[in-house]
Structure 1
Amino acid sequence: MSIGIIGAGAIGQLLFAQLNTGTSNAHKIHLISRSPQSFIQPMSFTGLDNNTQHGSVEILGQDAAEIAQLDLLIVCVKAYQVVETITPVIDRLKPNCQIMLLHNGMGPHRNVAELLQHYPDMGLSLATTSQGALKNAPWNVSHTGNGKTLIGHYCGQPLAEHFKSFLLEQIPNATWHANITTALWQKLVINCAINPLTAFYQCKNGQLAEACYQTEILTIIEECITVAKLDGIDLTNVDMVTMVDEVIHFTANNTSSMLQDINHQRPTEIAYISGYVVARAQYHGIQTPANLTCLQRIQALEH
């Protein structure tokens, strides 16, 4: 098997390390950069046991011949980078190559599904993870927390059983999800309720447990559930409020990725979080004012 991971951020390098652990020569794992040319790069990875592994890895460039031999391409870039990342390489992939998306938010899966209509032997899988990873330096990543990884089929040809087994064995706490869209909507609701509020109010996740934020959080959740139902996904208010409360509690000291992006003057994924809910609401002819407010607030901060 030949697996490529495109997107060398914290999660991309974490997956690269996990998929390489204990693998045989039959499983070739490649890390792919946006550079045209391949290069040798010293890398360091620190596991949860605080043991650090050092090594040199060949990072494939966009022009590398190995890309044409990939059986599975895992895309670990930001949501707003997914389509622009896949489009230049899709014609060079094997006709039956599988693509897997792993990013925050929702939306790009619809665009990629449209692309794959021209490639009937390919398949699209989606994944979400709550594993923690910290990028200490460009090629120095630490595994900072256990978390669940959910993987499931979305459209096109299904992922072969040997790939499914390999991923579930190599990625800690990984599970195959029969209805991955439901899992992604649950993650989306959590992100909608936490990320834009922490970014706007400039607070850590735990501060959202205070009473002054509860009305806003509950309204965001209710709007998300309404839109999800119109999209054919049944979520319950009790379950989603519980999930959001648990994440706020267990990640109380965390600085959300959206707040980090704002503080570092980077683009956020708000268009694929609150923005996705707003867009789907508009598609169904309803209004979601709380999520629209979140979208507009963060867009204003970005500018």
Structure 2
Amino acid sequence: MSKARITTAHVLGPGALGLVFAHQLSTQRNVTLITKATHPTRYYYTFAQHSSALTVNNTSAPKESITEIWLFTKAHQCKSALQSVLGHLHPKANIILSHNGMTNVAELIDLLQPTQGLYFMLTQQAAYKPQSAEVIHVSQGPSTIGAINQVAKKRLDTLMTDWQSAIPLLTKSTDITSARWQKLLINLAINPIATHFNQLNGALRAPQYASDVMALLNEAINVAQKEGVNVVLAEALALVYQVMTNTAKNRCSMLQDKLNGRETEIEAMCGYVVNMARKHGLAAPINELYYQRIKGDKP
């Protein structure tokens, strides 16, 4: 494979996945990590028991024109994060989003110029931060990128060559909306229940959780079908229980956020399903229940 063109990629969000992808992109190009003044000035990356300093530049106030930026934020931070860099974006910039849950991408497209490309990446890469300046990369799972707006669709094939040279197991999605719904269903069936009952993922395979897993999925699938996304309940259930098995000893991200006093992504999961159900005149009582439970309004 030919070497990628040497251009600068900006990465916003020095969380675990932000640092992992900053490291991977830095193997092929220059990387500038956009941080806050309170963040560390140097980061360390560990994979397969080998540690090294991230070879990236750090800035809290980018001055150069940004041609490519990867946003690794929580769903509820996505819009404000994009707004914070709008003034620095090149007229033909490419913006790649990656977060759990669903957001209103129409709002994000409205912020951009018609010549700026918007993409979404789903990833199964796994990592965590034992401390603020260090990331432990647990596994190099597959990732997929798809185009959100029209200009992104025209550029995606060309960009994939560069991105695949840096990011392992990266593929192109021709239907990123359906892929995001499938990821949402997995998150819906695990995160709210595991968080409310303070359980590891594998514990949710127990019979007492089955009816809630089924209801959360069924309500979301009813909404997805109204949105033109075809999902089969039996297939979704099989995938969800396979993920529970594969990640049996994991503590889901929502539970980690709750235990660490951080805002969760419940708004972009159960909250999204509830709001979209109302839009289509549907009921989503179990998603509503878990939304209230995680928000702390209901036992």
Match of 2:257 in 1: 261
Match of 2:63 in 1: 65
For 1:137, the aligned partner's letter is Q
**Corresponding residue of 1:31:** 33
8 Å Cα contact 1:41-1:56 kept in structure 2: no
Q: What's the TM-score once normalised by structure 2's chain length?
A: 0.92
Deviates more, 1:77-86 or 1:187-196: 77-86
Q: Which aligned pairs between 1:122-271 and structure 2 lie closer than 5 A?
A: 122-158=116-152, 159-271=155-267
Match of 1:111 in 2: 107
Label 1:214 to 1:55 Cα distance change in 2 as closer, same or farther (>3 A).
closer
Which residue matches 1:46? 46
Unaligned runs of 5+ in 1: none
Find the aligned partners of 1:221 and 1:7 in 2 and give their Cα distance.
Answer: 30
Q: Which residue is 1:11 aligned to?
A: 17
Question: Partners of 2:157 and 2:33 in 1: how far apart?
Answer: 23
**Distance in 2, Cα, partners of 1:128 & 1:40:** 27
Which deviations, in whole Å up to 9, do the C-alpha atoms of 1:160-195 show, x marking residues without a partner? 544221212321211100000111000001101100
Change (3 A) 1:269 1:226: same
1:99 match: secondary structure = strand
Deviation at 1:13, TM superposition (A): 0.2
Does residue 274 of structure 1 match 2:270?
A: yes
* SS, match of residue 102 in structure 2: coil
What is the aligned residue count? Answer: 291
Contact 1:227 1:280 (8 Å CA) reproduced? yes
- 1:40/1:203 Cα in 2 relative to 1: closer, same or farther (>3 Å)? closer
Identify the residue that residue 4 of structure 2 maps to in structure 1: none
Q: Deviations over 1:268-300 (max 9, x none)?
A: 010001111111111111111111111111011
Q: Is the 8 A contact 2:221 2:231 kept in 1?
A: yes
Contact 1:41 1:57 in 2 (8 A): no
Measure the CA separation in 1 of the matches of 2:161 and 2:285: 43
Residue 51 of structure 1 aligns with an amino acid whose one-letter code is H
Equivalent-residue separation in structure 2 for 1:98 and 1:42 (angstroms): 26
Shift in Å, 1:156: 3.7
8 Å contact from structure 1 (residues 101, 109) kept in 2: no
Amino acid at match of 1:177: S
Deviation of 1:34 after TM superposition, in Å, equals 3.2
Aligned CA-pair RMSD: 1.9
Q: Which runs of 5 or more structure 2 residues have no equivalent in the other structure?
A: 1-6
Q: Distance in 2 between matches of 1:160 and 1:265?
A: 38
Bigger mean CA offset, 282-291 vs 102-111: 102-111
